[in-house]
């Protein structure tokens, strides 16, 4: 049985392996022992913290095969980005140049550095080992975060975003960054990606162009990838789009991958998540559900066959599934149908 739970300090070796396996462009998990251990400790503190409004909390979770204890994936939510340090994006815009006398009108697309997403919650750090990318495991790992947004809305920003990995090659080269490197930065994409991952963003403010960039002046290769996603990220993008996330004209400052957004309460899975009372016993129900005990001190999220009586507000689970959640009859759970 698979379960999602908060990361613990014992999971450092598994997290390091995921950081190594995920490759270039996975900014939130750089290969750095100090930083990875700091992320784990920050997450542990966040789950234990009493929160009245979102701040600089990180909720980092792992997908675990319960029988063996193997960690096979990870996902996370940043409660509110940009609280402790600057959170940069490029905003796609348009300049219009008109000369009535000459009868000329030109529309020029621009990229302007901004901090518009400050305070938004961020879905991040999603990775599933290749051998476990089967069935609905990937969907389960990604969607479990919506149960947290539904059960603990006070802990997260009203707007939720996700940065989609942009186009890069197997060596970590980014066509978009290559243009920036040639003209402004002088460091390659993996180095810039790593510096950002370890929290060293000073170079962005120091070296990033101070004025809007005209997209038409980029190299043809760079223009072609603005707003495009890495081929391995397309399934994740499709899932988020099915939940109501849309790109509103913001892209990553390094690889120009799109950022998608949705108001927390408008996310389909958040709207359709339900708070239910547990009843333990054998049942003939065949609802495929994602269920959490909603206990931050001992959080567990599982997939389970269940019988749901929405009118009565009751969910019936087997003894084994209830035990996996650490709950008994009468406990309050949050549940979401897996096919939604």
pLDDT in tens, the chain (340 residues): 899 999 999 999 999 999 888 865 566 787 888 889 999 999 999 999 999 899 999 999 999 998 999 999 999 999 999 988 888 899 999 999 888 988 899 899 999 999 999 999 999 999 999 999 999 999 999 999 999 999 999 999 999 999 998 998 877 778 998 898 888 887 777 777 666 666 666 667 677 787 899 999 999 999 999 999 999 889 999 999 999 999 999 999 889 999 999 999 999 999 999 999 999 999 988 889 999 998 998 999 999 999 999 999 999 999 999 999 999 999 999 999 987 6
Residues 290, 308: one domain?
Answer: yes
108 domain-assigned: no
Classify strands 70-78 and 58-65 as parallel, antiparallel or unpaired. antiparallel
Residues 167, 50: one domain?
Answer: yes
110 domain-assigned: no
Residues 282, 231: one domain?
Answer: no
Residues 209, 278: one domain?
Answer: no
Instruction: Report CA-CA distances (Å) from 315 to 263, 311, 325.
Output: 28, 11, 13
Residues 192, 284: one domain?
Answer: no
102 domain-assigned: no
Measured from the Cβ of residue 52, the count of other Cβ atoms closer than 10 Å reads 7
- Residue 27 is predicted with a pLDDT of 64
Q: Which domain holds residue 13?
A: 2-89+115-268
Helix (H, G, I), strand (E, B) or coil at 44: helix
Extended beta strands in the chain, E state: 2-6, 58-65, 70-78, 89-99, 104-114, 121-128, 159-163, 213-214, 246-251, 258-263, 274-280, 287-292, 301-309, 314-317, 332-337
Give the residue from 222, 242, 268 where a domain finishes.
Answer: 268
Give the residue from 243, 268, 293 where a domain finishes.
Answer: 268
99 domain-assigned: no
Residues 20, 130: one domain?
Answer: yes
Residue 62's DSSP bridge partners are 5, 74
Residues 182, 261: one domain?
Answer: yes
Residues 206, 61: one domain?
Answer: yes
Active-site annotation holds for 170:
no
Residues 198, 171: one domain?
Answer: yes
Q: How far is the C-alpha of 213 from the C-alpha of 114, rounded, in Å?
A: 12
- Residue 93 is predicted with a pLDDT of 95
- Residue 187 is predicted with a pLDDT of 77
Element of type H or E holding 17: helix 12-22
Which tokens go with 177? 């960054």
**Domains identified in the chain, total number:** 2
Give the residue from 233, 268, 303 where a domain finishes.
Answer: 268
Q: How far is the C-alpha of 27 from the C-alpha of 174, rounded, in Å?
A: 14
293 domain-assigned: yes
CATH of the domain at 48: 3.40.630.30
For every residue of 84-142, DSSP letters joined together read SS---EEEEEEEEEEETTTTEEEEEEEEEEE-TTTT-EEEEEEEE-GGG-STTHHHHHH
Cβ atoms of 84 and 179 within 8 Å: the answer is: no
103 domain-assigned: no
Which residue in the list 170, 183, 230, 283 is annotated as catalytic? 230
70 domain-assigned: yes
Residues 46, 166: one domain?
Answer: yes
Residues 156, 294: one domain?
Answer: no
Residue 179 C-beta-side C-alpha neighbours within 13 Å:
21
CATH of the domain at 327: 2.40.40.20
Residues 282, 202: one domain?
Answer: no
122 domain-assigned: yes
- What pTM did the predictor assign? 0.91
- Residue 26 is predicted with a pLDDT of 64
């Amino acid at each position: 049985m698979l379960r999602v739970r908060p990361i613990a300090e014992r999971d450092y070796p598994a997290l390091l392996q995921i950081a190594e396996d995920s490759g270039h462009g996975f900014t939130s998990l750089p290969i750095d022992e100090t930083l990875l251990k700091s992320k784990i400790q920050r997450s542990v503190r966040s789950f234990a913290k009493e929160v009245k409004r979102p701040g600089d909390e990180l909720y980092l979770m792992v997908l675990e095969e319960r029988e063996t204890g193997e960690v096979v994936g990870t996902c996370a939510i940043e409660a509110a980005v940009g609280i402790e340090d600057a959170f940069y994006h490029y905003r796609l815009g348009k300049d219009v140049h008109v000369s009535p006398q000459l009868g000329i009108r030109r529309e020029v697309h621009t990229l302007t550095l901004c901090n518009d997403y400050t305070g938004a919650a961020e879905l991040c750090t999603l990775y599933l080992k290749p051998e476990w990318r089967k069935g609905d495991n990937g969907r389960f790992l990604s969607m479990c975060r919506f149960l947290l947004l539904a059960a603990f809305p006070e802990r997260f920003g009203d707007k939720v975003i996700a940065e989609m990995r942009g186009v890069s090659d197997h060596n970590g080269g980014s066509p978009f960054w290559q243009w920036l490197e040639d003209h402004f930065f002088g460091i390659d994409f993996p180095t810039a990606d790593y510096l950002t991952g370890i929290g060293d963003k000073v170079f962005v403010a120091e070296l990033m162009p101070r004025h809007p960039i005209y997209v038409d002046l980029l190299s043809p290769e760079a223009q072609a990838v603005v707003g495009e996603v890495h081929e391995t990220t397309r399934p994740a993008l499709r899932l988020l789009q099915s939940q109501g996330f849309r790109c509103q004209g913001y892209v990553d400052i390094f690889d120009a991958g799109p950022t998608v957004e949705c108001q927390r309460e408008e996310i389909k899975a958040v709207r359709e998540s339900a708070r239910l009372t547990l009843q333990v016993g054998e049942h003939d129900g065949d609802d495929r559900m994602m269920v959490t005990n909603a206990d931050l001190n001992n959080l567990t999220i599982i997939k389970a066959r269940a019988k749901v009586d929405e009118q009565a507000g009751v969910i019936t689970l087997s003894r084994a599934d209830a035990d996996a959640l650490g709950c008994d009859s009468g406990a309050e759970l949050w549940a979401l149908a897996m096919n939604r």
